Structure 1
């Protein structure tokens, strides 16, 4: 996002704590003070290991989950505490594409009805909704004969096209794509990625692209935010983050991405982190990454680092007491 661009979405200190059932389990702080912006027409990649809180963050943004704390500002308006009635007009501009295409589609409804449902829910005429569904099917690469079929008759890639078409029905400006290609065969992923890129160019969409596949993120995203145990540890332009990661965790993640050059792949050094990520129900004091960090010192064990500018004059931030030199 440029310095003069007004964010379409602005998230500040967003947190989510899941309470233990009947007091028997410790509360889980799944998201802990996350902040980022998404500009109009931009794709921000949100990456990290499973369980880091990235999907929870996406669901809070579209208000499928109620935030425990923090603010979500969309189009200059704070929507983080709006009731369902006040949210309804905004639903058309904020949509979501889910990870598992089949489980996100109603198995009892035809493709045409699934895509038309968002319009019918807003009180639109049935004939107009079906006409719009036919237009969207063509836009995402489905044929008219698919209209009266059911989700179980489609492959994973086709089902995800249906999900994408449904998300476009109301003409959104921002789509939260939660692992949109991770459940698909490798051969199909490129097709869905190409489709999403084309739709962004044609419709001016902004994406929050949640993923753990850093190769896909490098392909589709403008900026990247890296999460670890509910917090963002590094965020910046894709080119800078991939070329010179400032946080030790980002460096370790990128070292696991396969290289297209077989010689370079054989000779490069991979970074193996010791242990497993701590439980969000019992996070370590200080920097959450310090038990696995090769650079950890005493201050890391006692003081949580703030997200700050990594290099003067560069719009990249890192939460580390001892960031890597650019």
Structure 2
């Protein structure tokens, strides 16, 4: 597959080098509030609140943050598994955020997703052959061609093609995630949104899956939006990193500069929790412990939403919402940066 995909895709990538493959602007997702015992509906929950970023072809953007910060919701909106409340998602120069399902179907072959739990994302009643070939059948391929393609993809992701007629429960967690990756590759996509693809796996298996995804990116020219809460994994796979807190991006920039010199207090706290391989360096460094829990997205605090937990918050942080601005070669939403 790799020998066929690379030559056909390279000219297209070169022709589009002047514009991002993915352009996201002010993306917002507000879920309806829960109804009380009296029937009154509560305030809407702004799970994602004005997210904007660009992603070039063949590159990886890491999206990190605590659980509940809105990163998975963002990923699902990128591929239209969730309909955004407002904002836009442009893929290859075309706004796909308001397309009808009929108009979106031809574009879906270029947008695929890998889910967090490999077993729950696979239909237990279908064979691996049917799971992997299903996207091809939806796009109009014949059954024989789709099955042949499924066998090729199994080999590409490190599985034995002879196991094509087995069911998902016959595979380990790492093997099941390889099946999910093979399914996402079936239509030869240009962008894959990977939502916590290794968090449910053992550490040794995590390394195998990360190495596989890196190899596939190099061979096939893929672009990734890699969603995770493990900053060490994100550092391994990403070119740029966006840090989310309570539905907003608070810092975004080149991986090297962000990890070496974080500007936002939240980013510094997250990085201080990443274990270091050197025990002496681990003992010397200062661990930043954030007090309290993240506020509810249904009732975010005024000003900077991070100020109730921020160790350097000032009066302006409690009253004025910081916007993303360029600081030290990256974008930071912090008055104190």
Q: What residue number does 1:318 align with?
A: 332
Tell me what 1:300 maps to: 317
Of 206, 213, 226 in structure 2, the residue corresponding to residue 196 of structure 1 is 213
Matched, 1:9 2:22: yes
Q: Extract structure 1 runs of 4+ deviating beyond 4 A.
A: none
Inter-partner Cα distance in structure 2 for 1:238 and 1:21: 39
Contact 2:29 2:84 in 1 (8 A): yes
Q: Distance in 1 between matches of 2:203 and 2:18?
A: 36
- The reply to whether residue 52 of structure 1 matches residue 69 of structure 2 is yes
Work out the number of aligned pairs and report it.
317
CA contact (8 A) 1:5 1:39 kept: no
Give the Å deviation of 1:26.
2.6
The 3-state SS of whatever aligns with 2:90 is strand
Q: How does 1:229-268 map to 2 (within 5 A)?
A: 229-268=246-285
User: Which aligned pairs between 1:95-244 and structure 2 lie closer than 5 A?
Assistant: 95-244=112-261
What's the CA shift for 1:27? 1.2
Q: Distance in 2 between matches of 1:217 and 1:228?
A: 16
User: Deviations 1:205-253 (Å, cap 9, x if unpaired)?
Assistant: 0000000000000111000000000000000000000000010000000
- Secondary structure of the 1:176 match is strand
Give the secondary structure class of the aligned counterpart of 1:67: coil
CA deviation string 1:250-283 (max 9, x = no partner)? 0000000000001111121100011110010110
1: CA distance, partners of 2:152 / 2:316: 58
1:79 equivalent in alignment to 2:96? yes
1:20 aligns with 2:33: yes
Structure 1: distance between partners of 2:18 and 2:284: 42
Q: 2:296 aligns with which of 268, 279, 283?
A: 279
> Could you tell me whether the CA contact under 8 Å between 1:287 and 1:304 is conserved in 2?
yes
CA contact (8 A) 1:178 1:210 kept: yes
Computed over aligned residues only, the root mean square deviation of the Cα atoms, in angstroms, reads 0.9
| Contact 1:256/1:271 (<8 A) preserved | yes
Query: Normalised by the size of structure 1, how large is the TM-score?
Result: 0.96
SS of residue matched to 1:64: coil
Unaligned runs of 5+ in 1: none
Q: Secondary structure at the match of 1:160?
A: helix
In the aligned structure 2, how far is the partner of 1:7 from the partner of 1:145? 40
How many Å separate the matches in 2 of 1:117 and 1:78? 26
Mapped partners of 1:114, 1:299: distance in 2: 53
